[in-house]
Chains A and B, each alone.
Chain A
Amino acid sequence: MWAYPEALLAGAAGTLRIFVICLVVGLILGLLVGLGRYSKLRLAYIPASIFVEFFRNTPVLVQILWFYFAMPMLMPFEISPLMAASLGISLNSAAFSGEIFRAGIQSLESGQWEGARALGMSQTQAMRRVILPQAIKRMLPALTNRAIEIFKMSTLASAVAYVELLQQGKLIASIHYNPIEAYTCIALLFFIFLYPLVQSTYFLERKLRQSD
């Protein structure tokens, strides 16, 4: 297994790349979707709702395969495995985190809105300065779960032969006929990545709780 350090390194780099892309895109898009779902404007609410329902209720693997194999037949451009996988995972994640954002914003008592509005804040100022900072604090455990989920979903990119950890593990396993060793190692590598990540969010939660 360890005879190919550069293969594993390439796999780890691929996993990290897709994780970072999907986390950033998923959360930013998720915030927009969440705000849309919270909005009273039909023009924002309806598209956001369609988006959420569509991507929540279809499997990510199918979406990745669709973006990779079906979309190029409909549109005149090539799509790389990274793009297909990132699209599938990001959009799915945006749908789920959008719901987390909406619920987080709704969980704040109306008094916070009133306190902000009574000072003469606009809706946007109140959201940015008063509502979101508190909502994000409450959402942190749920968003952590989302990040973990994204990290693990990155393995689905192997379905379109994107070079990430699982893909490299599969390759090594098929060359050396050592699936026990190969897949155990891959699982352990994921654990080694994720465990400190989760611990650091606990630390962040404690830090944010200082004002309580």
Chain B
Amino acid sequence: MSTQRPKDLLRVSGLRKHFGNQEILKGIDLTVNPGDRIAILGASGSGKSTLLRCLNFMETPTQGQIQLSGQVIGSERTLRDGSIQTTYSERELIRVRQRIGMVFQQFNLFPHMTALGNVMEGLRTVKGMSQDAAQTKALEQLARVGLLDKASDYPARLSGGQKQRVAIARALAMEPELLLFDEPTSALDPELVVEVLRVIRKLAEEGRTMLLVTHEIGFAYHFANRVLFIADGVIHESGTPDEVLKNPRQTRTQAFLARHNEFKF
């Protein structure tokens, strides 16, 4: 097959997600190009985390299409009423998740493994690397996040910031093409936020493709080349950081930013 490789890495169209009767995402269209750093903002309950979680299928989309490097994920079937139903095989999703890494708000480190063990786990179990090769690679990743000296510590012995950096190293080790950050600093004490943001900034400087759901608006401004403001399950406003964060056109975006800046001094 000689289909031309499309420029975009991820293309989302008409993405919807229901939880029971509640519609959380109401039709999201989004294109992610290689090297994009996209910050996703929005009030809690707006659907921004759900959007991120649909992209690596932690949640199964109710409707819509997701393409990764031009390939549609899942198999589509047109129903009698003309609507399209997509079914996903676990095997395909496993392959997708190996290409799209995720960092969680609550870290989700494995408490029964050391920091090194956590980073090695995916390399050993999923990629089937040898013990030695996995260890070498895992140590490199821990060095990248500045935690080489904590390699043999269990998560319970680490601070929140250190845990999140191990989680980032764990995701990086898998060499994903796209990294998703779901409020990576929201569970941290304020003084620990910076060390995690520094690591994320460094990754941005390396040209990694990343999506970041965050409440750190100042960081979003410096980090992102594109900002999305989500409200009521749709992309309410999007553009460059200057457009969305300095000169928002929509009143809801303005109100959201005003609330965030209320106690600035």
Contact = CB atoms under 8 A, between A and B. Distances in A.
A211 B94 CA distance: 29
A120 B106 contact: no
A125 B126 contact: yes
A122 B104 contact: no
Given A114-B58, A211-B112, A212-B111, A119 B104 contact: no
A137 to B, nearest CB: 7
Given A119-B121, A211-B154, A111 B104 contact: yes
B221 interface: no
A119 B154 contact: no
A115 B110 contact: yes
Given A111-B108, A134-B111, A137-B112, A120 B126 contact: yes
A130 interface: yes
Interface SS of A by simple majority:
helix
Interface string B99-127: 00110101111111110000001100110
Nearest to A119: B122
Interface string A96-132: 0000000000000001101111111111010001100
Contacts of A134: 110-112
A133 interface: yes
Given A120-B97, A120-B98, A211-B154, A115 B126 contact: no
Contact of B126 (A112, A119, A212): A119
A133 B104 CA distance: 22
Query: Chain B interface residue count: which class?
Result: 20 to 34
A205 to B, nearest CB: 14
A97 to B, nearest CB: 21
Interface in B158-179: 167, 170-171, 174
Nearest to A131: B110
B56 interface: yes
B156 interface: yes
A137 B154 CA distance: 16
A115 B94 contact: no
Contacts of A129: 121, 125
Contacts of A130: 110, 121
Contacts, number: 70
Nearest to B123: A119
Interface string B121-141: 110011000000000000000
B94 A120 contact: yes
Contacts of B106: 111
Contacts of A211: 111-114, 154-156
B95 A120 contact: yes
Interface string A186-212: 000000000000000000000000111
B90 interface: yes
Contacts of A121: 94, 122, 125-126
Nearest to A130: B110
Contact of B112 (A111, A116, A125, A133): A133
Nearest to A134: B112
B157 to A, nearest CB: 9
Contact of A119 (B111, B112, B174): B174
A120 to B, nearest CB: 4
B125 A115 contact: no
A111 B101 CA distance: 15
A129 B111 CA distance: 12
A120 B174 contact: yes
A137 B112 CA distance: 9
26 contacts: A112-B110, A114-B104, A114-B108, A115-B110, A116-B110, A118-B97, A118-B108, A118-B171, A119-B122, A119-B125, A119-B170, A119-B174, A120-B94, A120-B122, A120-B174, A121-B94, A121-B122, A122-B90, A122-B94, A125-B126, A129-B125, A211-B112, A211-B114, A212-B111, A212-B154, A212-B156
Given A111-B106, A129-B121, 17 more contacts: A118-B56, A118-B97, A119-B97, A119-B125, A119-B174, A120-B97, A120-B122, A120-B174, A121-B122, A121-B125, A122-B94, A129-B125, A130-B110, A134-B111, A210-B154, A211-B111, A211-B156
